[in-house]
Amino acid sequence: MERTLIILKPDALQRRLAGRIVQRFEEKGLVLGGMKLMRISKELAEKHYAPHKGKPFYPGLIDYVTSGPVIVMVLQGERAISIARTLMGKTFGFEAQPGTIRGDFGASRSYNLVHGSDAPESAAEEMALYFQEGELLDYAPSGSEWVFPKSDD
């Protein structure tokens, strides 16, 4: 089973899209392993987005993710990272395919509604920034064998 960190960014909450976005992940078969409503501090944002420090968009990104409440969550399931990234769509809403979260709800270059880890290593690092030991649950909801069969490679 794979885990990924997802952040519903301030624009998703301000636009009251949180429930609809979470629903898309759940409908695809991913399971919530942890979730919290919070406001990301500047220090935490700088740690999270450290790989982008020095890039032209970095100051605006920090201002954006710290501008309002967010929901951070861990989703789990087989191929959770690739499934979540496919559901999110391309970074810029105006380039994202219809049917994706960004394609259906986004049009901006700056406000892209959601963050998702891009690899198992970054997922582990990002989850450790937002969740402490013991805060994540590992469980299989009833019926999950109909989403991710044991023989599905």
pLDDT in tens, the chain (153 residues): 899 999 999 999 999 999 999 999 999 999 999 999 999 999 999 999 999 999 999 999 999 999 999 999 999 999 999 999 999 999 998 999 999 999 999 988 889 999 999 999 999 999 999 999 899 998 888 888 888 777 666
* pLDDT of the residue at 152: 65
CA–CA separation, 48 vs 40, rounded Å?
10
* Residue 115 known to be catalytic: yes
Condensed to tens digits (0 to 9), the pLDDT of residues 66-97 reads: 999 999 999 999 999 999 999 999 999 899 99
Q: Which domain holds residue 118?
A: 2-138
Q: Is residue 147 part of a domain?
A: no
Q: 111-124 burial string, b = 16+ CB within 10 Å, else e?
A: bbbbbbbeeeebbe
CA–CA separation, 27 vs 22, rounded Å?
9
Q: Is the pTM of this model over 0.85?
A: yes
For residue 104, the domain's CATH number is 3.30.70.141
The total domain count for the chain is 1
Q: Is residue 148 part of a domain?
A: no
Q: Give the count of beta carbons closer than 10 Å to the beta carbon of residue 36.
A: 12
Q: Which of 81, 115, 123, 131 is catalytic?
A: 115
